[in-house]
């Protein structure tokens, strides 16, 4: 009888531990990381393979296109355009093979009539979970123009496009920043925003593991060090 009770307790404990095991990134999220990372680095041959995997994993054509468009804000137009050109080649190849890919939804029209700057500020406040009513950072005081460009374009024009969620956009962003390297302050900020948007420590550790496969162990180790500090601060 006692042995039976002990066995039942152990079974229940194991079941509880299994249900409490934090999940990692799902296949679609893994594809976002790899596509963003490889595009940012200009690794076009590897990118072509991962673009096909992303489609097979359930990402729509428009979602992948949006990932590649979004990352130009962090990796530059040349990388983004080369990524789009590579994606066109992949789609044409798949079409010739008789594969019909899901294009998914288009971005919804923006009906908000406020200025783009005000909308961008609101979006940024939602991302950082704080009001933007304090003194501006030194670089924004030095260059007010870049503050306007960030608010109006990045956080209004791009983030308002609902093809991707905020979480997916942040996953794209940290993938680009970690792959470029040498951008620890920005990576730290966006890792924190990623957690604000619902990404878990386990998912972010999974993200770093993927960066090791796309950008190398050195950049992954740097990203893991930044993530460690972010987790400790929270």
Question: What's residue 145's pLDDT?
Answer: 96
Instruction: Report the alpha-carbon distance of residue 196 to residue 209 in Å, rounded.
Output: 21
- Give which of 53, 51, 27 is closest to 39, Cα–Cα: 51
* Predicted structure pTM score: 0.89
Check if the beta carbon of residue 51 is closer than 8 Å to that of residue 35.
yes
- Give which of 143, 156, 144 is closest to 117, Cα–Cα: 156
Span 7-61, pLDDT tens digits: 444 444 444 443 334 579 999 999 999 999 999 999 999 999 999 999 999 999 9
Instruction: Report the alpha-carbon distance of residue 119 to residue 3 in Å, rounded.
Output: 64
- Give which of 9, 12, 3, 93 is closest to 49, Cα–Cα: 93
Three-point CA angle 51, 73, 28, nearest 5°: 30
Question: What's residue 141's pLDDT?
Answer: 94
Question: What's residue 5's pLDDT?
Answer: 43
* Helix, strand, coil percentages, rounded to 5, for the chain: 75, 0, 25
Q: Please, which residues have CB within 8 angstroms of residue 139's CB and are 6 or more apart in sequence?
A: 146
Check if the beta carbon of residue 202 is closer than 8 Å to that of residue 194.
no
Instruction: Report the alpha-carbon distance of residue 214 to residue 38 in Å, rounded.
Output: 6
| Separation of CA 205 from chain center | 13
- Give which of 198, 197, 191 is closest to 175, Cα–Cα: 191
Question: What's residue 22's pLDDT?
Answer: 57
Q: Which residues of the chain have pLDDT under 50?
A: 1-21
């Amino acid at each position: 009888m006692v042995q039976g009770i002990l066995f039942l307790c152990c079974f229940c404990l194991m079941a509880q531990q299994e249900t409490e095991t934090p999940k990692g990134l799902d296949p679609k999220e893994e594809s976002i990381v790899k596509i963003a990372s490889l595009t940012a680095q200009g690794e076009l041959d590897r990118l072509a393979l991962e673009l096909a995997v992303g489609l097979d994993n359930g990402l729509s054509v428009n979602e992948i296109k949006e990932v590649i468009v979004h990352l130009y804000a962090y990796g530059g137009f040349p990388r983004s355009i080369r990524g789009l050109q590579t994606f066109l080649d992949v789609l044409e190849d798949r079409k010739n093979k008789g594969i019909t890919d899901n294009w998914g939804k288009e971005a919804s029209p923006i009906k908000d009539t406020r200025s783009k700057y005000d909308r961008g500020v609101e979006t940024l406040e939602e991302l950082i979970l704080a009001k933007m009513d304090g003194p501006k950072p030194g670089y924004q005081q030095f260059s007010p123009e870049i503050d306007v460009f960030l608010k109006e374009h990045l956080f209004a024009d791009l983030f308002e496009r609902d093809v991707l969620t905020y979480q997916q956009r942040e996953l794209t962003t940290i993938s680009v920043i970690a792959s470029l390297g040498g951008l620890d302050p920005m990576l730290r900020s966006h890792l924190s925003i990623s957690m604000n948007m619902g990404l878990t420590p386990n998912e972010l550790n999974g993200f770093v593991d993927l960066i090791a496969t796309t950008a190398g162990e050195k950049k992954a180790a740097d990203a893991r060090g930044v993530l460690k500090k972010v987790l400790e601060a929270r």
